[in-house]
Amino acid sequence: MFKSYVPKPGRREYFTILLVGVEIIFFSLFADNFLTASNLTQIIQNSAELAIICIGMTLVIIAGGIDLSVGSILGVVAVIVGNAILLGLNPILIVFIAILSGLVLGFVNGAIVAWLRIPAIIVTLATMNIGKALVFMLLGGAWLTGLPPVFNGLTTYKILGLPVVFYIVLFMYAVFYYIFTYRPFGRHVYAVGTNPESAKLAGINHKMIQIATHSILGGLVGIAAVMYIARMGSVEMTVGHDLPLQVIAAVIIGGTAITGGRGSLVGTLAGVFFITIMKNGIVIMGIPSLWENSIIGTLILLSLTFDIVMQKRVEKKKLMTV
């Protein structure tokens, strides 16, 4: 049995949880119908896809990478899932196809990063634009509509008053928390993100870690694509365009260091709810959506500034102890 390796939630994680609490109080006071059962259920439903994808993005960023192509992967897989539904394939087979498609697309990203040694931000920026073009080609310039409600039960069916997607998210976070905390793979991800050269000397295959984290992220995006279809019932031309910003923002706001080596799923989940609650509250209050991205961008800058300041303090302490 392996002892816990993942750092316990720190100040950043607790601060994000505090921010979520402040958000809830603010919107409860100034946004009508915010605390209604129907609105809270909608928040859970709308956060499911983001929450699932953020698990994979947390892995990738902790390992020292980043992925800007998650929105395009979601779009491509959603189109594949939509067409599979129209063909009348078995729902279980469709889910398998979705996960496999995401895994393959994620693997391509990871393989290029690891084997060709091209920075992840460059690789995924390229595949993001390729994916957008592919979605446009597959859709033929029109929305994919008229999909049978094969997966609608994920959002409409409730257990103990909560939609099924809530339990799926809870299960996925429990599984990956166990992997992060108790399995060697979790230790290796943190080690590669902290110091790739030291990890290599310790016998860790950092290239395989890069490939694995990107592949896992892709597979999770595949699951999120099924949830997207269940929620929307169609595939839009602009599917996933704003997703990379939201995913990266949630992960970074949740305390994961953009430089790698530090982060936790507790903080990530808090970041997810912070983003989702903010979007929901802005809509209810009738605030222009333009402010949504402005706020998210500002929070990313503040989070990055905090990381830089903390890193400099750590380096200063090390120099003082030498």
Selection from 1, 60, 12 nearest residue 190 by Cα: 60
79 is a domain residue: yes
**What's the 3-state SS for the chain?**
CCCCCCCCCCHHHHHHHHHHHHHHHHHHHHCCCCCCHHHHHHHHHHHHHHHHHHHHHHHHHHCCCCCCCHHHHHHHHHHHHHHHHHCCCCHHHHHHHHHHHHHHHHHHHHHHHHHHCCCHHHHHHHHHHHHHHHHHHHHCCCCECCCCCCCCHHHHCEECCEEHHHHHHHHHHHHHHHHHHHCHHHHHHHHHHHCHHHHHHCCCCHHHHHHHHHHHHHHHHHHHHHHHHHHHCCECCCCCCCHHHHHHHHHHHCCCCCCCCCCCHHHHHHHHHHHHHHHHHHHHHCCCCHHHHHHHHHHHHHHHHHHHHHHHHHHHHHHHHC
Predicted local confidence at residue 214, as pLDDT: 98
What CATH number is given to the structural domain containing 64?
A: 1.10.3470
Residues of the chain with pLDDT under 50: 1-5
1 is a domain residue: no
269 is a domain residue: yes
- Separation between Cα atoms, residue 55 and residue 133, nearest integer Å: 26
Predicted local confidence at residue 5, as pLDDT: 47
4 is a domain residue: no
2 is a domain residue: no
Q: Number of folded domains in the chain? A: 1
267 is a domain residue: yes
**Residue 273 CA, distance from chain mean position:** 12
6 is a domain residue: no
306 is a domain residue: yes
Structural domain harbouring 307: 11-321
